[in-house]
Amino acid sequence: MIFQIWDIFQDFFDWVAESAAIMLVLSGLMAITWIFYEGKRRRSFTKRKVDEYEFDVTKFLRILSYLGIILGVFVIWAGAIGLLRNLPPSFKYEEVYGPDAGANIFTSISLIILGIVMFLKPINDLPWAGIIGLIVGSAVTFFIAIAVPDILVEFIAAYIDPRWVLGIIFLIMVAIVALTVKFYISGLMAISKVLSWPPVAVIIMLYCLIQGFSLWIFGVSIVPNLL
């Protein structure tokens, strides 16, 4: 049963790697949700600054934006594996250029960049510092709990409940990691603000849809192969 599930996942990721054109189209559709998301949140198509009290976005649009993180994994995978395995971006592309067509370098690189963009896009809306802090804090506390020998636990228990010690360690780790991540993530947040501007999202959408459908249906790239 486990091997069957693994085979399904492997087949799926193989299909993703061989479907760069489809990943581009899906990225273009995701960019459309960014346009509506930011347009509603900013109450303007061209307004750059967003006031805190204007963060009024429907749950549907917010969920769609967050799904971009998951899609970003597949998009990066398609771009990276396409380069590593020299895979054509679509079956039509291979049909047009022959079995030795290989990867379209421009498409693969743009997919990797787009995937990273999808991770950065919701960075202002999700409490990444707190999320990462909780994950790291939980992991450290768990490993300490299973690594500390019983004799040491008994020694600590003579003075204080070990659960209090683990709780204190957890809180300290969450605070340290959250503050550290928040400090280093400020640069990414600046990039996210640029990417969340609707006119930029329109450019991304147009490129993804034009390039994606061109590769998928006609088997040609709007930009010639770099190599």
Dihedral of the CA atoms 102, 107, 108, 114 (nearest 10)?
A: -170
Q: What is the pLDDT of residues 107-129, one digit of tens each?
A: 998 999 888 888 777 665 666 66
CA distance 52 to 87: 45
If you ran DSSP here, which 8-state letter would residue 1 be given? Answer: -
Q: Estimate the share of the chain in helix, then strand, then coil, as percent rounded to the nearest 5.
A: 80, 0, 20
CA distance 76 to 87: 14
Please check whether residue 90 is in contact with residue 19, taking contact to mean a CB–CB distance below 8 angstroms.
Answer: yes
Q: What is the pTM of this model?
A: 0.69
10-residue stretch averages of pLDDT, the chain, 227 residues long: 60 82 92 78 62 53 74 90 88 84 87 84 64 76 74 73 76 76 67 75 91 91 70
Q: Measuring CA to CA, which residue among 19, 195, 162, 13 is closest to residue 94?
A: 19
In the structure encoding, which two tokens stand for residue 26, read together? 């899906």
CA distance 47 to 97: 44
Please check whether residue 96 is in contact with residue 75, taking contact to mean a CB–CB distance below 8 angstroms.
Answer: no
Q: What is the pLDDT of residues 182-218, one digit of tens each?
A: 666 666 666 666 776 788 888 989 999 999 999 999 9
The dihedral region occupied by 151, where left means phi > 0, alpha psi between -120 and 50, and beta the remainder, is alpha
In the structure encoding, which two tokens stand for residue 105, read together? 């370098």
In the structure encoding, which two tokens stand for residue 169, read together? 């360690």
Instruction: Return the pLDDT at 85.
Output: 87
Instruction: Return the pLDDT at 182.
Output: 67
